[in-house]
Structure 1
Amino acid sequence: MSINGRDHTLKGIVVLMHKNVLNIDVVDDIADNEGDTVPPSFLDNSIALKLISASKTDGTGKGKVGEKTYLGGLVTSIPTLEDKQSAFSINFEWHSLDMGIPGAFYIENFMQDEFFLVSLSLEDVPNHGTINFVCNSWIYNTEKYITDRIFFTNKTYLPSEMPAPLLYYRYEELKTLRGDGTGERQVWERIYDYDVYNDLGEPDKNAALARPVLGGSSTLPYPRRCRTGRQPTQTDPNTESRSGYVYIPRDELLGHVKSSDFLTNRLNLASQYATPQLRSLVTSKRNHEFDTFEDVLSLFPDKFPLPLLLQVDNSAWMDDEEFAREMIAGVNPNVITKLQEFPPQSKLDSQLYGDNTSTITKENLEPNMDGVTVEQAIQENRLYILDHHDAFYPSLRKVNATDAKAYATRTILFLQTDGTLKPLAIELSTPNPNGDSFGPISKVYTPESEGVEASIWLLAKAYVIVNDANYHELISHWLHTHATVEPFIIATNRNLSVVHPIYKLLLPHYRNTMNINANARNVLINADGIIERAYLLESITMQLSADVYKDWVFTEQGLPNDLIKRGVAVEEPASQHGIRLLIEDYPYASDGLEIWAAIKSWVEEYVIFYYKSDADIVQDSELQAFWKELVEVGHGDMKNATWWFKMQTRAELIEASTILIWIASVLHASVNFGQYPYGGYILNRPTKSMRFMPEKGSPEYDDLANDYQQTYLRTITPKKESILNMTVLEVLSTHVSDEQYLGQRIEGGLWTTDSVPIEAYNKFGRKLAEIEQKLIEKNNDKSLRNRYGPVNMPYTLLYPSSEEGLTFRGIPNSISI
């Protein structure tokens, strides 16, 4: 290099992965050659890079672009390379006095196959040192792109702080990601755009497979999903045609991660009953249905892994204490509410559905309330309710016209002095045969422990769980995590540059979500998909989801506000987390509050570092565009709601970011990874009911008295659907080998060059490890009975870390399955 800096070669390392190494080990074949022999497809002028200056302009205000440079030799001595990655040297002619400091680069691929670009690092940049570019992106043949592929350094900039020579490139890249809203999207594209859920039905295939459009109306509002641009069906121009391939922006598809693809493939096979296990179990005429509980147990462990629920006691699931405990430590622990008034009221329109006030009386409850009156119990915060009545009642007439037979349920529970919950009464309601306006026909059941009445009570609990299992899968799981997060992902990528601090904050919490959502629309929630087949509501499944979305409030999705809204906690500023739990031993809530506080503390440190005042929030053009589009388009059916943050202060940004991270990580983990441990035993969490409750004097009642197990099994989910559901729940509850957990980042320490946020993130990781140790200690405290229950199954779902597999623990960063 000359003294004046006009002659200089910048040395760099490019890390990538060729498409072929996903199938054959081409890198392994050449690894011993120390770079003498390299994959010709990489090194015959097939991949070219051009550096772009962050400090010198070309006369038009844009950063100067350097000369085109091709990859050099293979580097085999880098210890940080991961499996299937290859590193190549590259030398750029870069005259520092004329060109300044590199801040971005273009890359071109002249091969037919795409490759996965991991990173570029430049060494010994004059007056700067090392410059890193974290890429993690698929690069297709250059002819596939309208604009050149560009990557920026790992520096973090608010729009107002971006080096002027890079501003043009920053906004051109965002323009590329937004697209123009036309045409059918292709596999190599990276365009983020919105559409309604109009791709669930297949009316061209069969009129019975037509489904209404979700989103874009007040009757069926819904979050938006990623636009694919597929042609409309011939039968219905408002319905998008379906195909095996569902477009998502290319970098949202983790095609280089075999474990993620493996789980997705298993879902596809399950939807077609295509696995040998499924075929053998559902086609055998000899075993057409389960006849005894032992028949179900015989599936374990040869056909299915033994669910955690059964590993100590295979009958404790029937215990009333376990039935109640799973409402606060099970797979759907965030629905139970405090009973505020008696009798329980309904919010259903009385003009349409008559009087839906509960028929549960004090006489039903007080015999089992240890001498406490209903009035006293309400005043002392000791009565709680699992109320699924309003969610399911409007659908029952359609449901009960099919092979299924179901009720809308209310369950009232009493908080005992030992901290456990005791069910007091279950109300089962069906539509009046004279018409909806006459109000429901309801019957109340109370606990019994002997004879046929004990079997009746067991069935009553099953009808409650059928409601709860459906509400869980459609609302708590799908709607409140998967569906509501997707518009955030789209709005983020359309409006926040990759160098924006909030983009970097949120990116780990989006990993693989659009991919799994696309697969869900293809095989899980589509017409005649797995959910319609294995769950209660069949063809009207997703309409329930849209009905409940009408009451969705983003600001209430964070844990503290959710607990207060449900009445299970009260504000108490002097307490550790600012609120006090009314059910002290509430595993989901108590564990969750620890993690919520850690997330919020990390987010607060991060936001305050980049935004020195509220004025910085208002003046951030990208942030304001992101939030406006999210509200008005992504969740456009809710755009007139008054509860949206105005996004004018740092406090609002901190709260909104914390809620979003909470939903994508902790909330999803809490309602997802316990699905097989609790629901893999279909007797514990049935998804369908096929018969009404037997009436005294009927043949069905006599059958129940003679063989309660067979009657129970004929009432709940049939065998074929049970096997399908178990298969899916096992997949959904499994952690993949390359999962990224809360407190981890796939980029390691290279996601920003700012040391303060990096240290704050490391502190967040250490805090999560401390919390995990604290939760382990709580599970060893046998006075906290709700933490393990009659099934002796410690509540570990919110332990932050996990290993691969069915672990009943671990909080991934994102909704990745």
Structure 2
Amino acid sequence: MADATTTKSVASNENGNKKMRCEAEELEGGRIRGQVVLRKKKATDFTSFASTIVEVGRGLVDKVTGHELGGKDVSVQFISAVNADHGNELQGKLGNPVHLEDPVKTSACSTPGELAFSLTHHLDREIGVPGAFLIRNNHHSEFFLKTVTLEDVPGHGQIHFVCNSWVYPAHCYAKDRIFFANKTYLPSETPAPLNKYREEELENLRGDGTGERKEWERVYDYAYYNDLSEPQKGPNYVRPILGGSTDHPYPRRGRTGRPPTKEDPDVESRLPILQSLSIYVPRDERFSHIKFSDLLAFAVKSVAHFLIPAAEGQFDRTPREFDNFQEILKVYEGGIKLQKNQFIESIMESVPSEMLRELLRTDSDGFLKFPTPQVIKEDKSAWSTDEEFAREMLAGVDPVLICCLQEFPCKSKLNPENNPDMRVYIEENLSGRTLDEAIKEKKLFILDHYDTLMPFLRGINTTSTKTYATRTLLCLKEDGTLKPLAIELILPHPDGDEFGEISEVYKPAKDGIEGTLWDLAKAYVSVNDSGYHQLISHWLKTHAIIEPFIIATNRQLSVLHPIHKLLHPHFRDTMSINGFARQILISAGGALEMTVFPAKFSLEMSCAAYKDWVFPEQALPADLIKRGMAVEDANSRHGLRLVIEDYPFAVDGLEIWSAIETWVRDYCSFYYKNDEMVQEDTELQSWWKELREVGHGDLKDKPWWPKMQSLDELIQTCTIIIWVASALHAAINFGQYPFGGYPPNRPAMSRRLIPEEGTPEYEELQTNRERALLKTITPQILSLLGISLVEILSTHSPDEVYLGQRDTAEWTSDEAPLQAFEKFGKRLEEIEQRITDMNSDERLRNRAGLVRMPYTLLYPSSEVGLTGKGIPNSISI
């Protein structure tokens, strides 16, 4: 079968070349008009923070004039797809250089700063039909090359070259940049004159694994997370290297090649804080100027007055507290006065005051403003109810952890024993059922943070954090909502692990000291869940695990490859935001360590969770079944029956998952007619091998990896990648501000344990409930930093591209995939209407809850800004 398939592919290849050569004979003696769309960028000095702010204020995009880029500054050489140069290793014949001519007006210029130039390609039988081109930039600065289009090519009509790439001056490259037409080829079907160019371009993208990467380079390579420490600052800024060991396994990141630190040769040196936005990622992976300006707003806001001073000792002083909930509400009404500091004073000299106010979101009097989070927009107190506490486990920002309780004591890798009081508290609230009966009827659910936290809890509680590992038990009511039954708070024994644990169980109460203790227990659960969400659900299981897929795709799959074309939109901006995160957020002493409870243990906790990461279980149906939240049922929609019918994340997610899977199946089946074609695709097999053995190399020997020997395995793999990078990330990212922008609803840290009876602090639990809670959770200054952080992470930028959309309409020349993609887009529109209808159905009480906040986190499209909806194609923020 393999030999027959190969023979067929070769024959098809030869027939295609003959057809193109016949068409090429029609080209002799004339010329073809074309146009080039590009955008020029001013050189911006990202080494100076203040100058960056000024640059953003003026606009990063120049208006390009014909004089600047016309004439002989930029030249293009088309490459034959049909005729090989026997004197040049059988590479396609090269045409003579043609230069950009006059600027022209065209609808292809859709972004401010873009300009189109005409060009003339002289017809030549030696060249025939172009399949690629080389471009040489003799200008002094880089420009963004969007598209090149040739008109009226005989036998073809238009030929589109979709480029979307930065082209630097020629002296930056060993070879001129190459771009291919939007035709898609499996490796065995590539026209022979383009084969060598295809291979050489992949070699260029892989690099040689040496040297420090430069801004203009496009090299994709792997490294460990060895850039999180700053040993020169002392032991408090040292973190383990993640990746490359059984103790600390981790996905690989993009290599930057910065030199090691003097203090530790295994640790890569870090950029100064004010150069954070210039961290290396391959040039085409960097943010657009629009996204840069958004992140600058956060960076200014954070560094100016939220980030705590550099000396860690200053953190130990008692911070200013919120005294009550009303004081927090002033944050959204402009009532927090911005205190000037030395940084503010220095940048105000170079930045217009009106621009500074916009970036810092302050009014003319310097009062800090934030938009009102959705969770308190309609009702200022419903967030505190038990109903909302439980609902957010199904329709909140982290709806991927709740499980159906399938046995008791709760299954644990660490300790099979449970506090015996848990059984008592549970059975008191089961309306006459026994615990075993409720489990059998799938009426009990658990939010369990015990196994994740307990190995780190003793260390965490030596920092400024003081918290518990929590288990929350809930039951399903007749109306389809969840009711909390009990919360277990667990601590390591103060005398040592050999003495076991200390566990207390709290049950729901509204009034008196019992009501306050119940509120505190719920707050500790929220603290646990906030840390788990940020470090594991969000960072690890979307951002970190996708980065190796991006690197492997660019190193092993040509831009001509169908799977590259399928996956590429779902990788946009991810390496850039991850690089920024390593600089500002997840590094030692970074913003994430300051705002979530695990503090310096944050990435270690994430690393421990990666040991249990299983790629096939990232498929939504597999995840729901594993958590006991669904069972297989051939007669149910999508082949699954949800245990909780009104589980908004799962209901909407299964619709999106099914739409993605159908689109991927339609697309892949067009290029792969059988399993043998998957097995014989050399680039695909190299991609999958490198992804497993290098990108996720610490888990390479796990038996669960797909073998990539069948079309079904390819479809499932690509569906998981797209689901994680688009819908899953959207569901757990864009609700961060709507739910967590109000700190009492989703506190990220706790600073004290429940006070001992007989102490003044315990007395305060009885006399001032709000103040007692606010003294326990995140303090004011870190709350403001956290609000600022989740605001920028929850905001859609103007250049966002959503699921079912492409940034360029001519992304492929193959009609069947284009039709399948159009069908995919229409299916997503139908899902939007379905979500709207469900959110209007008052019987579905989990979709809006008492806070009257409809579940829209898996609504595919969105407007710009802080909307609480929209599924971008990629992890772009």
Q: TM-score normalized by structure 2?
A: 0.88
* 1:233/1:73 CA distance change after superposition, 3 Å: same
In 2, Cα distance between equivalents of 1:137 and 1:666: 26
* 1:483/1:359 CA distance change after superposition, 3 Å: farther
* 1:457/1:107 CA distance change after superposition, 3 Å: same
> Which of the residues 803, 828, 832 maps onto 1:772?
832
In structure 1, the residue corresponding to 2:332 is in which secondary structure? coil
**Equivalent residues in 2 for 1:231-380 (5 A)?**
231-243=259-271, 244=275, 245-255=278-288, 257-258=289-290, 260-274=291-305, 288-302=320-334, 303-348=369-414, 357-380=418-441
In 2, Cα distance between equivalents of 1:28 and 1:147: 27
2:232 is aligned with 1:171: no
2:828 is aligned with 1:806: no
In 2, Cα distance between equivalents of 1:68 and 1:274: 54
Q: TM-score normalized by structure 1?
A: 0.95
The Cα of 1:268 is off from its aligned counterpart by: 2.5
Unaligned runs of 5+ in 1: 31-37
In 1, Cα distance between equivalents of 2:711 and 2:307: 55
**Equivalent residues in 2 for 1:593-612 (5 A)?**
593-612=654-673
2:479 is aligned with 1:418: yes
- Aligned equivalent of 1:85: 114
Across the aligned residues of Structure 1 and Structure 2, the Cα RMSD in angstroms comes to 2.2
- Aligned equivalent of 1:55: 82
* 1:210/1:271 CA distance change after superposition, 3 Å: farther
2:70 is aligned with 1:9: no
In 1, Cα distance between equivalents of 2:388 and 2:430: 18
In 2, Cα distance between equivalents of 1:754 and 1:293: 58
The Cα of 1:618 is off from its aligned counterpart by: 0.2
Note if contact 1:345-1:357 (Cα within 8 Å) is conserved in structure 2: no
Note if contact 1:406-1:463 (Cα within 8 Å) is conserved in structure 2: yes
In structure 1, the residue corresponding to 2:433 is in which secondary structure? coil
- Aligned equivalent of 1:117: 145
Percent identity for Structure 1 against Structure 2: 52
The Cα of 1:421 is off from its aligned counterpart by: 0.4
- CA deviations 1:97-156 (Å, max 9, x no partner) are 222110000001112210000110011222222111000000001111122200000000
- CA deviations 1:612-665 (Å, max 9, x no partner) are 100000000000000000000000001000000000000000000000000000
- Aligned equivalent of 2:817: 757
* 1:270/1:431 CA distance change after superposition, 3 Å: farther
* 1:497/1:641 CA distance change after superposition, 3 Å: same
In structure 2, the residue corresponding to 1:521 is in which secondary structure? helix
The Cα of 1:27 is off from its aligned counterpart by: 9.6
- Aligned equivalent of 2:18: none
In 2, Cα distance between equivalents of 1:199 and 1:191: 19
Runs of 4+ in 1 over 6 A off after TM superposition: 21-30, 275-279
Note if contact 1:21-1:84 (Cα within 8 Å) is conserved in structure 2: no
- CA deviations 1:512-559 (Å, max 9, x no partner) are 101100000010101110011111111111000000000000100011
- Aligned equivalent of 1:74: 103
**Equivalent residues in 2 for 1:680-719 (5 A)?**
680-719=741-780
The Cα of 1:470 is off from its aligned counterpart by: 0.2
In 2, Cα distance between equivalents of 1:507 and 1:753: 16
The Cα of 1:178 is off from its aligned counterpart by: 0.3
Note if contact 2:409-2:417 (Cα within 8 Å) is conserved in structure 1: no
The Cα of 1:344 is off from its aligned counterpart by: 1.2
The Cα of 1:677 is off from its aligned counterpart by: 0.5
The Cα of 1:267 is off from its aligned counterpart by: 3.5
- Aligned equivalent of 1:631: 692
In 1, Cα distance between equivalents of 2:869 and 2:630: 25
Structure 1 stretch displaced more, 367-376 or 242-251? 367-376
In 1, Cα distance between equivalents of 2:411 and 2:725: 33
Amino acid at match of 1:810: G
| Count of residue correspondences | 798
> Which of the residues 93, 117, 142 maps onto 1:64?
93
Note if contact 1:157-1:499 (Cα within 8 Å) is conserved in structure 2: yes
Note if contact 1:17-1:116 (Cα within 8 Å) is conserved in structure 2: yes
- Aligned equivalent of 1:33: none
* 1:277/1:441 CA distance change after superposition, 3 Å: closer
In 2, Cα distance between equivalents of 1:25 and 1:725: 28
- Aligned equivalent of 1:42: 69
Note if contact 1:192-1:249 (Cα within 8 Å) is conserved in structure 2: yes
> Which of the residues 508, 524, 534 maps onto 1:447?
508
The Cα of 1:75 is off from its aligned counterpart by: 0.7
Note if contact 1:27-1:86 (Cα within 8 Å) is conserved in structure 2: no
In 2, Cα distance between equivalents of 1:274 and 1:39: 44
In 1, Cα distance between equivalents of 2:107 and 2:126: 32
- CA deviations 1:389-414 (Å, max 9, x no partner) are 11111111111112221100000000
- Aligned equivalent of 1:35: none
Note if contact 2:306-2:782 (Cα within 8 Å) is conserved in structure 1: no
In 2, Cα distance between equivalents of 1:764 and 1:108: 38
- Aligned equivalent of 2:11: none
Structure 1 stretch displaced more, 288-297 or 763-772? 288-297
In structure 2, the residue corresponding to 1:577 is in which secondary structure? helix
Amino acid at match of 1:262: S
In 2, Cα distance between equivalents of 1:236 and 1:65: 50
- Aligned equivalent of 1:108: 136
Note if contact 2:75-2:100 (Cα within 8 Å) is conserved in structure 1: yes
In 2, Cα distance between equivalents of 1:3 and 1:537: 69
**Equivalent residues in 2 for 1:445-524 (5 A)?**
445-524=506-585
In 1, Cα distance between equivalents of 2:389 and 2:872: 28
- CA deviations 1:81-101 (Å, max 9, x no partner) are 432110001112231x22211
In 1, Cα distance between equivalents of 2:757 and 2:234: 42
Structure 1 stretch displaced more, 199-208 or 66-75? 199-208
- Aligned equivalent of 1:556: 617
Unaligned runs of 5+ in 2: 1-23, 45-54, 335-368
> Which of the residues 663, 674, 689 maps onto 2:724?
663
* 1:726/1:253 CA distance change after superposition, 3 Å: same
Amino acid at match of 2:848: Y
Note if contact 1:343-1:361 (Cα within 8 Å) is conserved in structure 2: no
* 1:25/1:67 CA distance change after superposition, 3 Å: farther
* 1:580/1:25 CA distance change after superposition, 3 Å: closer
Amino acid at match of 2:707: K
In structure 2, the residue corresponding to 1:729 is in which secondary structure? helix
In 2, Cα distance between equivalents of 1:722 and 1:3: 70
